[in-house]
Amino acid sequence: MRFAIWSGAASRITMPTSMEKARHVLNVRHGWRGALGRLREVLDWNNAGAGNQITKLEINCHGLPGRLLLPDLSAKGVVDHTSVQEFAGMLKPNLVKGALIELLACSVAGVEFSVDDLGPTDSNTPKVTYSRSILDEYWGAYDVAPTLIGHTDAPATIQTGVQARRTRANIAIARQYEWRAEGNGLRFCLALAAATGCVVRASDVLQWETDGNDPRIAVDAIGNWEGHVWDFHPDGRVKYLGMDVPRSQGHIAFSGDHLASVGIRPMGGIEANSPLRGQRLNRVPLAV
């Protein structure tokens, strides 16, 4: 079953107004703990008590490196390194083993550090030996397509010239050190994958929404990915999927409808008959 967790209209995440009536979307506008406590009931109601489980979970919210805002940065709303185990524990009973979790949030897979104060200049930052998978697939992604990471306003475009060389130098240093748990999207995504037994898919830069007011309804309004995209596996492996990766989007059922069919739009584009239109909105994190 495909299912979505949504942070709610008050967070200014673009969704059709009819989303509130969707049968397999969970609104966490009052905080994720109370909402996830009702998830089993929602899933059972959708499938007449048959104990349906989620095969693909889409989490649609604001984000920061290593943090999901469900719906905000308050103690009841943020999921970070201090609460990821609790969050995963509430999700896991409702997920098929090996399910895909898409974190449709800005920058969540990025590592937050200052590009001006890297490595040896900071005596409090311990060196670390990353696994070959992390070195090649995570940090190695920046050798393939450098971006200015470490800040939530990092552009998704490939840098060139002096900027690219400076970024490569920063990454060469960054990959030698274990950065603090706060703002560490690499460790956050791996922790979520390990604790749920699922594959976590996420990006490192701002994501852009596609606004649409068509009466037809879709699971999410995010469109294609921006920036580097990775799959983080429960066993600690990381798989780099590429830059600005296309993704599919499915229609969801209204209350009272059947869940039988899910219409998928073509990979890599939005057609004229899509529930979404071409306007792009910058999903900037909410002010603290």
Residue 26 binned pLDDT confidence (cut-offs 50, 70, 90): confident
pLDDT for 213 equals 46
Question: Is the pLDDT reported for residue 115 higher than 60?
Answer: no
Question: Is the pLDDT reported for residue 212 higher than 60?
Answer: no
Mean pLDDT over 181-199 rounds to 96
The answer to whether 42 and 91 are in contact (CB under 8 A) is no
Most confident of 120-124, 154-158, 213-217: 120-124
Question: Is the pLDDT reported for residue 131 higher than 50?
Answer: yes
Question: Is the pLDDT reported for residue 49 higher than 60?
Answer: no
What share of the chain has pLDDT > 90, as a percent? Answer: 39
pLDDT for 90 equals 97
pLDDT for 97 equals 93
pLDDT for 110 equals 93
**Tokens standing for residue 229:** 């995209």
The answer to whether 170 and 118 are in contact (CB under 8 A) is yes
Q: What gap in Å lies between CA 30 and CA 11, rounded to an integer?
A: 11
Question: Is the pLDDT reported for residue 144 higher than 70?
Answer: yes
What share of the chain has pLDDT > 70, as a percent? Answer: 65
Question: Is the pLDDT reported for residue 232 higher than 90?
Answer: yes
pLDDT for 167 equals 75
Question: Is the pLDDT reported for residue 209 higher than 80?
Answer: no
pLDDT for 16 equals 53
70 versus 52: which is more confidently predicted?
A: 70
Most confident of 6-10, 37-41, 62-66, 271-275: 62-66
Question: Is the pLDDT reported for residue 240 higher than 60?
Answer: yes
pLDDT for 40 equals 86
Q: How does 168-178 read in b/e, with b if 16+ C-beta sit within 10 Å?
A: eebbeebbbbe
pLDDT averaged over every residue in the chain: 76
pLDDT for 21 equals 55
pLDDT for 267 equals 29
Burial-class residue 46 by CB neighbours within 10 Å (0-12, 13-18, 19+): middle
pLDDT for 229 equals 96
pLDDT for 279 equals 35
